[in-house]
Structures are given as structure tokens and as C-alpha cells.
Amino acid sequence: MATATRYIGRPLKRKEDPRLIQGLAHYVDDLRLPEMHYVAFVRSPHAHARIRSIDTTRAQTAPGVLAVLTGQDLDKAMGVIPCAAQLPEMKLALRPPLAKERVLFVGEPVALVVAADRYTARDAAELVEVEYEPLTPVVDPEKALAKGAPVLHPQYSDNVAYRWELEGGDVKAAFAKADKVIRQRMVNQRLIPVAMEPRAVVADYQPGENQLTVWSSTQIPHLLRTQIAAVLGVPEYVVHVIAPEVGGGFGSKLNVYAEEVLVAHLAMRLGKPMKWTESRRENFQATIHGRDQIATMELAVRRDGTILGLRCRILADLGAYYQLLTPLIPTLTGLMICGCYKIPAVRVEITGVFTNKMATDAYRGAGRPEATYFIERAMDLVAAELKKDPAEIRRKNFPQPKEFPYATPTGLIYDSANYQKSLDAALKKSNYRKLRAQQAKLRRQGRYLGIGLSTYVEICAMGPSSAMPAGGWESATVRVEPTGKVNVLTGASPHGQGQETSFAQIAADLLGLEPDDIRVVHGDTAVVPYGIGTFGSRATAVGGTAVYTALTKVRDKLAAIAGHILQEDPKRLVFRDRKIFLKSNPAKSLAFAEAVSAAYVAKTLPPGMEPGLEATHFFEPSNFTFPFGAHVAVVEVDAETGEVHLLRYVAVDDCGRVINPLLVDGQVHGGIVQSLGQAFLEEAVYDENGQLLTGELTDYAIPRAWDVPRLETARTVTPSPVNPLGVKGVGEAGTIGATPALINAVVDALAPFGVRHLDMPARRERIWQLIRRARQAGSRPTARRAGAGRDRRVR
Amino acid sequence: MIPAAFEYHAPKSLEEALRLLNRHGSEAKLLAGGHSLLPLMKLRLAAPRCVIDLGRIHALRYIREENGRIAIGALTTHTEVLESPLLRTKCPLLPQTAWEIGDVQVRNRGTIGGSLAHADPAADYPAAVLALDAEIVAASADGTRTLRAAEFFVDMLTTALLPGEILTEVRVPVLPPGTGTAYRKLHQPASGFAIVGAAARLTLGSGGKVERVAVGLTGVAPKAYRAAAVEKALTGKKASEKLLAEAARHAVPQDVELLSDLHASAEYRKAMAVVFTRRALEDALARAQSKKR
Amino acid sequence: MKLQGSYTLPAKREAVWQLLNDPKRLAACLPGCEQLDVVGSDHYLVRLKLGLAAISGSFSGSVRLSDKKPPDSFRMNVEGRGAAGFVQGEANIELVSDGDQTVVRYSGVASVGGLLASVGNRMMELAARRTLEQFFANVASQLRA
């Protein structure tokens, strides 16, 4: 890029933050419209039941109630909740916005109440009487496959949603010539995304203009608009979607929800503005869940540690119905199962299964954390089996830097990497050898230090449209105003990632301006061109590239105008300090604003040039990008209580070129902390009747500040050849890389007790039991006293 | 928060609050810090017709020394307990316990009276007030009466408070020289409540003998209790690490109805009661020894 | 949730049997029972207000008795629902003579759904046990009366 990088690469503070931390930002629930009405949902308390009858009489006659509707009332008014994923021979399991004959999970809406205020709506919802005939719920995904298990969707003969297979290389031969086969069943448990802001929707219909405006806390305003139009059966131009401030998504708002289309429908049907804000309990029950895969991994290895082949069978619990991408997520696990290792032969078999639970879908990492966890745990098992250091086993199987672009047997092309370099950096930064020595010393004292490694690669910058369910490109418009100020309109929909800052940095450098000269606009379908949205670590690599290319078009035009005015070759002009000047003679210059003004006044334009100054670009990436890194976790297990204390965390990430290191660190920190949640704390627990026992934050544990030590981050930089910025994406790196490092550390700490594997979350009672069992079996260390039991808070 | 409709009263004096309580009887709930009542109302597990907010009765918010004891007004927040110089020097077990309650927000709103009157089986204060032989003062239209901590906790969420009574004060002793105290807790990872909370108070006599010891345990059973067998095993004996460990084994009497939930089975709770009792005793002993010197 | 236990009542088996099978007297023993209507033989509709301190909820549902083997044993099926969720339970109840007293042994399975299941987990089992204890205490005092 022949541009000075005065801002790209600098740790600029976020332009978004002043309004957020001063309470000046607007979320959906902050909206108040005249005559606004409120929606409350009546939800099923049963996981599996037939609806015998719904009596809405009492609710309907309650003062202040405008309407009470059931699935039957909506019958012809709307379609089903869309699923964009298509897999060969996949059974459809599409959800009606309100349940009709049956309910298939706890929290499924069966009726709704519209009232003049939210209190009346909630009160009236309790007056709706639903008679259920309970059916046997299907909760355990393994039992769901058993012969004779109740079938969720009666049009099918069993609960198998799909089977998906992938094979590359000669798997049979690899296993035949292996010295050893390492085998392990692993559970990647069901998680609840817990965005700080729950979902919220406001809809307003103006019949005169035939305009339906929907404000939704969503990651995908444009796709939502298309889908609302389709579900409601209205032309797309009727619908206008705005994603105002969005208080966290993590994939849970990369969806089209029943509540969104219902609230939109109600605004049109009843002619009043409608609002619905999800409660935390509803958020737990009826917003998508993540993960929930059971894998059986098999690695064929040579005695020297070379991995010859991999077999993996995955059972993916999809829940009761499909949401937008439900069936697709586990296939990402399949594609990435080799991790950053050169494994010549691979076979993956995935079975998607229906159960009486909320649907799973994309949750930060979406399929890749599962893949990374499975392969990284397996690598540690190989190291343990062969009595080799986990770092050496990894290094032995890395492809060499010169082998990139590297083709995997799963059919992907890893763009660029240097895995050796990031591993070396992480080992050095953590002082790995010294840690091992310390561990040995402490073990002799009866203290259990664990050191866990993870070297990961992820698939990002989603993605080439050929490989995406509904387009993988991104759009940008750069519109320079006559005064010389710049609007960057992006089709991506940032909701915390900080692109209002990083895109302004790119624009400032390309146009020789200051970041304050640039305003980044997003999330409004009437303002920004059609775009795909923010997910899959794509906003900078795909959306940023669209911005970059649109900026280049604007700059070329401005250079032509300035060249014409200055009577110089545009190619010799430089953009800097809000000026356009001759590189060899900076005195020969034109203010940026003057050149812009010329484009609008249109008296001094080069012959034939069209006036105005605006450019749009739709960027179609040629490949995904593949960020990578190496993480080291150091934990101490309190052998008396089973508590795990995270002592240190070192993360070396490579996300290609860095636009703003502060933003990258923020993404890495947040991701690691979410990983910590999965590794140690979080699990959506359904009981045998399909009741969600972790139904509130009092029982579903998420990490707190005191759980997290100072995170030690560093980077290597291997630019991506896939886009001109050389960026790869970093939004999910932490959640993908960290979970296995944390569990590997716990298992490493427990090695003296003969522990080989431990499923997540690493609950202290489970650890306590493993230790106790080992001690009872004798022959294991019987240190009288474990670690001092560090207090969770520093006083 | 979308609770069921309720009538709201904010009396400014105890007398007014008692009158309101008498008038509304079992239809009324008292609101102090709100950390237990409001979540229940939000979920509509509780739907009182009437809420009497005690928050404006400033006269119930104090910590002062009176007749050789320290009196704490029921509306004193956990943060006020935690930061009180008087308690920190003369009865540090309460500040040590307050420090382990919830998080900053909870400690800034939650009150000692509210917590005790709610009698959550996993709340922290009950262990400490038992170990301190605290007195709990209840006021009613007929006057006040004083209850011993040991008789105050009746069952899960049930206390000896009678209808029409308001808990107004907690009285704890000024601890004698040579006393060390500690509260050690295994947190429930989501709620921060105690899976096990052990409060220990230990006074050393001459020759390093345990002159007096008290251990209160919370989180283990439907109500907090005194670990009498632990105390008996220690009293009059020369304190040592070994002795504490052995005594701690008696933390859970045979007849205790152990709690069990998603986060800890009965078996694990029982084992942790022993571990945390020992740890609390160790800390208390170390503090007692350092004060002796 | 498994519920199992026994309770010794101060009366002979026949008297206990009679009481448990007399809807009117049964209603007086059911904790928080606000209404009990007989809708068939051994089939009652009930409305209960159950609670523990600040927590309370109204449930309406049914009680059915079956497999009656007087005066040895019967099965009891209870179903209730309210705003806080639903409760379902089935228990086998056995009466064993012990001199002038009767030991009632119950063993069954109960499940809760809705709000109660998702937020009440930690106290649910204890609350169920307490409700049963209350019930038997009421029966005992009825028998004494």
C-alpha cells in the first residue's frame, strides 16, 4: 500500500467509548414511540408436549390488553423461521413462530399478549391457560438415536437430522501402519451465550408510506430485513431494519428469531408501535445455545510422534428446530479438525440429532472451538502416551512456513502461517522450561501446578460466497461531503468490535486525514448498502477490505481532480495532513477540502468526469483467512477442594496485519475469558425431563473479573495474501485457542493422579473425586496438604 | 423488573413500619437491601400485596459500642460492616465475613438485618453470628425482645421472628485479648453464595491452650449451625495444626440434613465442611497467636 | 427428584387408611389446601397455596388414588400447575402396623417444570420434603384429635 501508515497499527482509543461509558448510547430498549405497545410471550414449561387447548378469554378481557394471539391465529399470516443452511439429505425442522400442535422445548412461545404497558402484558400472559398433554422428552443426544426413542418430528422416522462425511487421504492405510492409536471420547458442552444486552425488538408500521421500521439488537440487519420480508410476505422495500447500539452478540444475534418476525407482524397487524425486550430467563431458554458436540477422536501415530491419520465421529445436539445456521456449525468442526498439523489422512463423520432443547447455532467460534479443543486435547494425549513434551509433539507435526499456502486433506487452503514462530514466542514469553522445573519441584511438595499448551489455527474472514450459505462478500460506500468530511458506510454491523475506530484509521491513512474527519456508519438498511453483517471474524478482513477498495476509488478520483487543478500527474500526488501535494515538491499542494469541493462545484473537473465524490465496493474474498497462535496456561489445582486457580495466561496470536493493537488485545482478552467460562464454569444443564436447570445467572456461572489474572498477550505478524490489507481477523481467536490450553493445564496438573482426560467444565467436585479416587486406589501421591488455597480475591 | 403489582410504603420510623406491618400482616413483605426479595419478586416467585421499604429508617443504621457489646443497626450495609474501624478492632469476624458476601454492588446495598431475617441456608452472616453468640433484637408493637443467635435460625428461610416483628439490631461481643477469628468460604461459582462457609473464633489461654472456641457453619444444611463436636474436641487442649485437623473432622454431625444441588453434592459439601472448618481454625489460631505475641 | 421416607402415625392402620381415603379429612391435612372437590371415585381436584417464607405460589391440579389394597397400600398421583410452573408426582404408599401405631412408608418420583425447575433447583428437594413432613404432621394431629 503506497500510503503512509500514520494511524494504521496505532493503539487509538475507541471512538465508540465516550458515548457508551457516559450512558449516551441508544439501545433498542431505550426507544420510546408514541402509543407504543408491549409484547409478552407465553412460553411452554414442558420440553415435549401436545397442546390440547389454549384459553385466552381471561387474558383478552384484562384491562389494557390489545390482543392475545396463538399459533392458530397466525396460521396464514406468516411463514416459518428461516434456516439458511443446506446440507445433502438434511431433514428440515423449521419452526413456526408460535407453536401450533406441539411444543418441542422449554421456553417455546405458544401465545403472545399485546398490552399498553409491559406490566399489563406480563400480568395478562399469566392469564392465558394452556392445557398440555406431556410427551416423553428426548434430552440425551445419544439416547435420541436409540431404537424406540420418541421422535420429535413425526414426519420422520427418527431423530437424525443429517449425516455428513468427509474423507481425505488414505485413512485405512494410515491406521494400518500406525504404531499406536490414541482414542478418546470428549464432550464439548452446551453453552449459553449470555450477551449483556438480551434481545430486544421495536417495530413501527406507517401505512401511508407503507414502511415497516424494525429496530433489533442484531448482528445482521440486512439479512434480517430480507428474511422479515420473506416471512411476512411483503416486498423487501417495505421493511427497514436498524441495529442501533448492540450490547453484545457473540453469534447469538446472528439469527432470525421468532420474536423478531412476530413483533414486526404485530406492528402491521395492530397498527401500533410494538416493543419486546427479552428477560434474562427468556434469554437463557429461547436464544440460541452454542457448542454441544460429543466427539470420538482417534489419532494414528508413529512412535516418534508423527501423526499419520485422524478419525473423528461427532454427535452434534442441534436442539428441537433449526435456527439460521444450526445444521452448518458442526461441519466447520469437521473442516478444521486437523488443526495446525500436517495430517495426511482424515475421516470425519458427523451426525446431527434433534433433542427437546433450544437450537444450537453460532456462538463465538462456531464449530472451530470444538475442533481446536478436540485436536489439541488429542495432541496432549499423544504426548502423554509417548512420554514426550507436548510442545515437541506439536512442533513435529507443523507444516513448514514454506509449505504455505497449505492444502489440508479436508479441502481447505491455509493462506499463510508460521506456527513454529508463534509457538517459540509463547514458550519464551511463558518461560516454559522454567515452568516445567517449577512444576517438578512443587509436585515434590504436594502442590499441583499444571501447564497447558494450545497451538491453534482458525478459519476466519467468512468468506468466499461459493462456500457460504448466502453470500460471503461485504460492501462499503465512501461518501465524501462537500466540506471534505468523510462518511464510511459499511455493510458489516459492528457491535463492540470497534470498527468505527479501525475503519476510520484506514480511511485517515488512505485519504491523508485525521480519524475525526471520518464517521463510520453501519447498521441501518436505509442508509448503508446491502451487506452481510458481523460474524465469523469477517468485519475487518472482508468489510475492511471493501472499505479500503472504496477508499482507493475515491482517492483515485480525487487525485485526478487535484492533478487536473495542479497541472500535475495524479500518480505523483501524495495525500497527507489534509492536503494533496506533489511528492517531489510539497509546496505545490491543494487542501483536501478544496479538491473535494471541486468535485461538487464541478467547474474545474477533468473533461468527461462525473461530478460528486462517492464510491461503493462489494468485496468478494478469494479465500478464507487462517489466523493462528500459541497459548500457554498455568494453573494450580487445590488437591483438597478440587478448585482450579489460573495463575498465568500467555497468548501469542497472529491475526495478520494489525490495524489497532488495542482492539486486537480487547478481542483476545474477551475471548480468553469466555474460554475460561467454558473450561471451568459454564454448562447449560437440562434435567432428564428437559427442564433447563441453569435457568438464571444464579446457577449458570460466567467468569468474573476476579477469576482472571493479568493476561499476557503478544503477537507475531504473518500478513494474509487474501486481501490487500493483509489482515486475518481476531474476533474469535481467544475462544478458539484458549479452551484447550486451560483444560490441558488442568489435566497436566492432575497427571500425578493418573488423570488422562477430564470433560468440561472442569468442576471442582469432579476434580476432587478424581483425586480422591486416585488416593484411595493407593500408589498415587498422598501429599498431606495441597496448595495454600489461594483466596479468589486479592485483598 | 416486571413484578406483580404491589402497594409500596416507605416509612421513616420504626414505629410507622411496625404499624404498617400490623395493618397488612402476612400480605406484607419487608424490604431492606432487596437482594433476596427483589429477585424473587422479579421472577414472581414472591408476589406480596404490599412492600414496606425500611430503607428510609435511618435510625436503624449504626455501629456503636454499648455496655461492652457492639450494637449494629439492622439496616447497616455489608460495606459498612466491612469498613467499620470499631468492628475491625473489636470484633473482626463480622468484617471478615462481610468481605466474602457477593460483590461490591451487593455489599453496598445488602444489609445485615435483611440477610439474617431472610435466613437463606447459604448466606454468610449466620455462620458468624452463631460463632459470636450474637444477640438479635426484634421489635414489635408490644416492645422488643432479644433472641440468642442459636435460637434464631429455625429452618431454611425460617427464623424465630414472629409475625409483626421487625429485626432491628444485632449485638456482638467485644472479643477478649488472645482471640483470633476467620471466615473461610467455598463460593458457589454462579451466585457467590456459600457452598460451605466456616466462621471460627478462637481464644488462646495460658500455655497455648484453647480457652474458648466457636465454629459456625453455613451452606451445609437447611440452617446454619454450631459445630459443637469440633469445639469440644479443641477446648482446653494445646493448639496445634494436628489438633485442628482432627477436630475439624467433626464439622458435620451425623443428624445433619445435608444440602445438595447442581454445584455440590451432599458428599462433597460434607468433605468441604471439614476442609473449610480446618482452614478457618488455622487462620483464627494464627491470628490469635500473633495477637498474643 | 426421588422422594422417599417414612413417618410414624399415632393410630392403627385402619384409622390411618380411613383418614387418607376420606377426601374431607385429607383436604384438612394437605398443606395450603384452599379447595378440594371430588370429581370421581378417588379423583379430586385441588387448589393449593404452597410456599416457604417469601416464596409462594398457587397451584391447581388433581389427586388420584389407585391400586388400592386396603389397608396395606395405594398409589397416589398428584399433578398441579400454576404461574410458577408445574409439579407432578407419583408415589407408592404403604401402611405397616407397629403396635398401636402405623408406619407410613412412601417412595416415589416427583418432577417440577417451568420457573420452579429453572430457578428453584437448590431448594426444591428440601421444600418438597418439608411439605411432606407438614402433611404427615397434620395427619398425626388429625388422628390425635
pLDDT above 70 (res A792): no
Summarize pLDDT for B4-21 with one digit per residue, the tens: 999 999 999 999 999 999
- Considering the segment(s) A17-24+473-619 as one domain, its CATH architecture is 2-Layer Sandwich (3.30)
Count residue pairs from A and B with Cβ separation < 8 A: 46
Average pLDDT over residues A462-473: 92
Under the banding of pLDDT at 50, 70 and 90, the label for residue A791 is very low
| E strand or H helix that includes residue A142 | helix A141-144
Chains in contact with C, counting 3 or more C-beta pairs less than 8 Å apart as contact? A, B
Summarize pLDDT for A215-261 with one digit per residue, the tens: 999 999 999 999 999 999 999 999 999 999 999 999 999 999 999 99
Cis peptide before A463 (omega within 30 of 0): yes
For residue C34, give the C-alpha cell.
384452599
pLDDT above 50 (res A794): no
- Sheet of A290-301, strands arranged across: A160-168, A345-354, A307-319, A290-301, A180-191
Determine whether the interchain pair A123/B275 forms a contact, defined as Cβ–Cβ distance below 8 Å.
no
Closest chain B C-alpha to A72 CA, distance in angstroms: 28
List Cβ neighbours of A6 (8 Å cut-off, separation of 6 or more): A508, A509, A576
- Render B6-25 in DSSP notation, one character per residue: -EEE--SSHHHHHHHHHHHG
**Mean per-residue pLDDT of chain A:** 95
Average pLDDT over residues A746-774: 97
Interface of C with B in 53-112 (CB under 8 A): 53-57, 83-84
C121 touches chain A (CB under 8 A): yes
Burial class (CB in 10 A: 0-12, 13-18, 19+), A603: exposed
C122 touches chain A (CB under 8 A): yes
Domain boundaries defined on chain A = 17-24+473-619, 34-135+196-248+253-286, 290-462+623-776
Q: Which fold has domain A34-135+196-248+253-286?
A: Aldehyde Oxidoreductase; domain 3 (3.90.1170)
Range list of H helices, A313-389: 329-335, 368-386
Supply the pLDDT for residue C125. Answer: 83
pLDDT above 80 (res A656): yes
User: Is there a contact between A491 and A532 (Cβ–Cβ < 8 Å)?
Assistant: yes
Which position has the grid cell 407410613?
A: C104
Determine whether the interchain pair C118/A281 forms a contact, defined as Cβ–Cβ distance below 8 Å.
yes
Give the helix, strand, coil percentages of chain B, each rounded to 5.
40, 30, 35
Summarize pLDDT for A568-591 with one digit per residue, the tens: 999 999 999 999 999 999 999 999
Give the helix, strand, coil percentages of chain A, each rounded to 5.
30, 25, 45
Using the CB atoms, write b or e for A442-477: b if 16+ within 10 Å. Answer: ebeeebbbbbbbbbbbbbbbbbbeeebebbbbbbbb
Closest chain B C-alpha to C15 CA, distance in angstroms: 31
| Residue A792 phi, psi dihedral angles, 5° rounding | -75, -20
Percent share of chain A, pLDDT over 70: 97
B1 touches chain A (CB under 8 A): no
Q: Which fold has domain B58-173?
A: 3.30.465
Closest residue to B261, CB basis, from C53, C55, C121: C121
Pairing of strands B135-140, B166-173: antiparallel
Supply the pLDDT for residue A787. Answer: 43
DSSP state of A121: H
Determine whether the interchain pair A693/C112 forms a contact, defined as Cβ–Cβ distance below 8 Å.
no
| Chain B partners within 8 Å of C125 (Cβ) | 260
Determine whether the interchain pair A698/B190 forms a contact, defined as Cβ–Cβ distance below 8 Å.
yes
For residue A636, CA distances in Å to A443, A643, B194, B264 come to: 11, 8, 22, 21
Range list of H helices, A180-307: 221-232, 258-270, 280-286
B38 touches chain A (CB under 8 A): no
User: Which CATH number does the domain housing residue C49 bear?
Assistant: 3.30.530.20
Q: Which fold has domain A290-462+623-776?
A: Aldehyde Oxidoreductase; domain 4 (3.30.365)
Q: How far apart are CA A359 and CA A362, in angstroms?
A: 10
Beta bridge partner(s), residue A68: A113
User: Is there a contact between B276 and B198 (Cβ–Cβ < 8 Å)?
Assistant: yes
Determine whether the interchain pair A700/B191 forms a contact, defined as Cβ–Cβ distance below 8 Å.
no
Determine whether the interchain pair A698/B189 forms a contact, defined as Cβ–Cβ distance below 8 Å.
no
Using H for helix, E for strand and C for coil, what is the string for A294-310? EEEEEEEECCCCCEEEE
DSSP state of B3: P
Helix axes A419-430, A432-444, angle to 10 degrees: 50
Q: Which fold has domain B7-56?
A: 3.30.43
Query: Helices H, strands E: what count in chain A?
Result: 19, 28
Supply the pLDDT for residue A795. Answer: 28
| Chain B partners within 8 Å of C55 (Cβ) | 40, 45-46, 157
B272 touches chain A (CB under 8 A): yes
**Gyration radius from chain B CA atoms:** 19
Same fold, A17-24+473-619 and A290-462+623-776: yes
Q: How far apart are CA B103 and CA B101, in angstroms?
A: 6
Summarize pLDDT for A482-528 with one digit per residue, the tens: 999 999 999 999 999 999 999 999 999 999 999 999 999 999 999 99
Range list of H helices, B13-64: 14-24, 37-43
Determine whether the interchain pair A696/C83 forms a contact, defined as Cβ–Cβ distance below 8 Å.
no
Residues of A with CB under 8 A from a CB of B: 118-119, 122-123, 126, 279, 281, 640-641, 643, 681, 685, 693-694, 696-702, 704, 765, 768-769, 789, 792, 795
Q: How far apart are CA A220 and CA A531, in angstroms?
A: 8
Closest chain B C-alpha to C113 CA, distance in angstroms: 14
Using H for helix, E for strand and C for coil, what is the string for A582-625? ECCEEEEEEEHHHHHHHHHHCCCCCCCCCCCCEEEEEECCCCCE
Please identify, in words, the CATH class of the domain defined by B179-292.
Answer: alpha beta
